[in-house]
Amino acid sequence: MLTIGAFAKACRLSPKALRLYDELELLRPSRVDPDTGYRYYALDQLEQARLVAWLRRLGMPLSRIRQVCALEPADAAREIRAYWAQVESETAARRDLAEFLIDHLISTPRKDTTMLELHYAAHSDRGRVRPANQDTAYAGTRLLAVADGCGPEGAAASSAAVDALRFLDTAELPAGNVLNLLEEAVQGATEAVRDAADGTGEDTGTTLTALLWTGSRLALVHIGDSRAYLLRDGALFRITDDHTVVQSLIDEGRLTPEEATTHPQRALLLKALSPTTPASPDLRLHDAAPGDRYLLCSDGLSGIVPDAHIRHLLTSTPAPDTAVHALIDAANEAGGPDNVSCVVADVVERGLAG
């Protein structure tokens, strides 16, 4: 048996830390003297103490350390791998934000961008199976949006969310803080969804993926599993992350993307616009370039038509309207299991025919 001082020295933790870990039930001493209250540790507790110290150095929260310490080595290893994958994915998101802010603070407005405009088309289709269409698709001179409602008032929720953003189509856009404006608009959309849910509570909700054209950039707001893609120079990039349970399992290294495509809970959303929870959407800005083509779609397209085929259809249909209908036809030809909505917008030089 070692006193707390000797044990602290041996495992390179402070006595203060050891007392805290005892209180938090991370590492209980082998014996506590009932008269003096002194703590005594066994030599074979050294390994666990070192593990706790290392996990603290990784930045792992105490509650999670407690879980890891209760596991067998192989399970503990898996848990640490999952934790680290999560840290890296959160760090990547913050790195994107930092890069955006740096760019935003030092960049001067480009002169030629006043010459750009959007040519766009939007359409929503019931699909082949569903009795009603709960999707909403919208495209205007500035605003592009897709929303996929769910629950008893899903159709009302998706259209209320998009309607709540439509003022952006004609609003005066403040220089510099377009993302703040979008974030406020999403709070308005959340309230609109609450009204539309009409007392059905958390069963009703909607995804929302929207782009706001500033004249040189596209501000993105995104929550749920609808998607935004960018076709640039013939390559297709997905610019949104799915807020689904399976995507979080992929990010944590617990599931491969291949396994996810057949996972029984692949449609289960981690986040959506809901009447009962405050919205926490992803927000970011994209620089536009002439020739860029953006696609917004509900999972009725991306869940059934592979990305390679989406890319092929987007590259082989010059007009946005033709592209939208080709994409919806492809979803329906593949069985049309869900409502399907698409918005296609091209960034073109002003005055050029789209």
Stretch that binds Mg ion, among 65-73, 118-126, 244-252, 297-305 (CB under 5 A): 297-305
Nearer to Mg ion, 292 or 299 (CB): 299
Q: Which residue is associated with the tokens 């003096």?
A: 36
Residue 4 C-beta: closest distance to Mg ion, Å: 58
In the shown chain, the binding pattern of residues 113 to 152 toward Mg ion, with x for contact by CB under 5 A and - for none, equals -----------------------------------x----
241 in Cβ contact with 282 (< 8 Å):
yes
**Between residues 68 and 137, which has the closer beta carbon with respect to Mg ion?**
137
What b/e readout covers 226-261, taking b as 16+ CB neighbours within 10 angstroms?
A: bbbbbbeeeebeebbbbbbbbbbbbbbbebeeeebe
* Least distance between Mg ion and beta carbon 259 (Å): 21
State yes or no: residue 153 binds Mg ion (CB under 5 A): no
d(CA 294, CA 343): 8
Task: Out of 138, 338, 346, 347, name the contact with Mg ion by CB under 5 A.
Answer: 338
Joined together, the tokens standing for residue 123 give: 């359409």
**Residue at 276: amino acid letter:** T
Minimum CB separation of residue 210 from Mg ion in Å reads 16
Q: How many CA atoms lie within 13 A of 130 on its CB side?
A: 18
At residue 265, φ and ψ (nearest 5 deg) are -105, 30
Nearest distance from residue 307's CB to Mg ion, in Å? Answer: 17
Q: In terms of CB distance, is 4 or 189 closer to Mg ion?
A: 189
| Residue ranges with strand state E in 184-339 | 205-206, 208-213, 217-223, 227-232, 235-238, 282-287, 293-297
Among 125, 153, 292, 299, binds Mg ion (CB under 5 A): 299
Residues 32-71: x/- map of binding to Mg ion (CB under 5 A)? ----------------------------------------
Cα 19 to chain centroid distance, Å, stands at 39
Least distance between Mg ion and beta carbon 19 (Å): 53
Q: Please give the residue ranges that form the binding site for Mg ion (CB under 5 A).
A: 148, 298-300, 338
